[in-house]
Structure 1
Amino acid sequence: MAEFEKGVVPKVLNGTGLKILIVHTRWNLSIVDPLVKGTIETLHSAGVPPSNILVRDVPGAFELPFASQQLLKQNPDINACISIGVLIKGSTMHFEYIADATCQGLMRVGLDLGRPVVLGVLTCLTEDQAFERAGIGRQGHAGHNHGIDWAQAAVEMALLNKK
């Protein structure tokens, strides 16, 4: 059975030799920083050396698609991009507009450039939800750091794209 057939998840993700781009927002850094840390630690544990991880930051989520696209164009040896940010719903429609534009833009970058772009943007209704998804939950719930999942997805998709 082929490694990437439907329903088959690779047991061991070997990221040796892969180059990964992480673009993250400076907005909501108390949540973004642990997500980036979890992403980097997971990439290291998958065999991606520190020298093969390029990390850049941008002001907010709306800027993620443009920055991801430009950095991927400037670095053709990058195998995958993880775009990380946090959007927390407020009392206006701003959340919906930014979330939709960011998600659509990141998908377009990946499809247009033919390289995986992992959507690492939390879209939460409350700060507590965001803290839980960053693995630093409040109120006694540590939660799960989604940066781990994004790193695993990036390695898996980069390997798929290399085949």
Structure 2
Amino acid sequence: MADASLKGAMPETHDGRSLRIGVVHARWNRAVIDKLVFGVRQALHDCNVPNDNIVVQTVPGSWELPGAAAELISGSDFDAIIAIGVLIKGETMHFEYIADAVSQGLMRVQVDKCIPVTFGVLTVLTEEQAMARAGMSAGGHNHGEDWGFAAVEMGLKRKLWRTGQFAKRE
């Protein structure tokens, strides 16, 4: 059996009861999005993030995610943001333009605003790949769970780092 750490980060459970997490998601490919948001919520719940500290907002599509993430951060006190979208390659270059712009935009928001922004945008070639990455097919895994755990971990680390503290172990 292969070591689970060969692909993806080994999940760690952190106590996120002190965190406020913003989730912004696109409405395109809604069936997959809903499963991913469910996975995020499950992970946040597993990390003890109170429901009142989870703010979920929607935008029309993935193109709007960077701007929405920036506005959420500017308008309120969040410890981390999770941006969720699903881009499925079609017959035109639209996929490449949107995927690149959204990726660069979310990274820029994270760096400019000094708030962790978890990249929860699936960029896949087929609907089947999207469904597998949302845990909707046999052998699939809901990546929303990974994004929730990552946001909690980074939100907690940001709080420590901003006060000059560092984790005791790694």
What does residue range 61-140 of structure 1 map to in structure 2 within 5 Å? 61-75=62-76, 77-137=77-137
Taking the aligned partners of 1:22 and 1:160, their CA distance within structure 2 comes to 18
1:12 paired residue number: 13
Q: Which amino acid aligns with 1:153?
A: A
Task: Quote how far apart the aligned CAs of 1:9 are.
Answer: 7.0
Taking the aligned partners of 1:149 and 1:11, their CA distance within structure 2 comes to 10
Q: Which amino acid aligns with 2:147?
A: W
Structure 1 vs Structure 2: percent identity of aligned residues?
Answer: 55
User: TM-score, with normalisation over the residues of structure 1?
Assistant: 0.90
Deviations, residues 32-79 of structure 1 (Å, cap 9, x unaligned): 00000110111011010000000000000000000110111001x210
Taking the aligned partners of 2:107 and 2:143, their CA distance within structure 1 comes to 19
2:46 paired residue number: 45
1:157 paired residue number: 154
Task: Quote how far apart the aligned CAs of 1:12 are.
Answer: 3.1
Matched residue SS, 2:18: coil
2:145 to 121, 140, 148: 148
Unmatched runs of 5 consecutive residues or more in structure 1 = 1-7
User: TM-score, with normalisation over the residues of structure 2?
Assistant: 0.87
Task: Quote how far apart the aligned CAs of 1:99 are.
Answer: 0.1
Matched residue SS, 1:102: helix
The alignment of Structure 1 onto Structure 2 pairs a total of residues equal to 152
Q: Which amino acid aligns with 1:13?
A: H
Task: Quote how far apart the aligned CAs of 1:10 are.
Answer: 8.0
Taking the aligned partners of 2:44 and 2:124, their CA distance within structure 1 comes to 25
Matched residue SS, 1:12: coil
CA contact (8 A) 2:13 2:149 kept: no
Task: Quote how far apart the aligned CAs of 1:128 are.
Answer: 0.1
Q: CA RMSD in A?
A: 1.4
Q: Which amino acid aligns with 2:67?
A: F
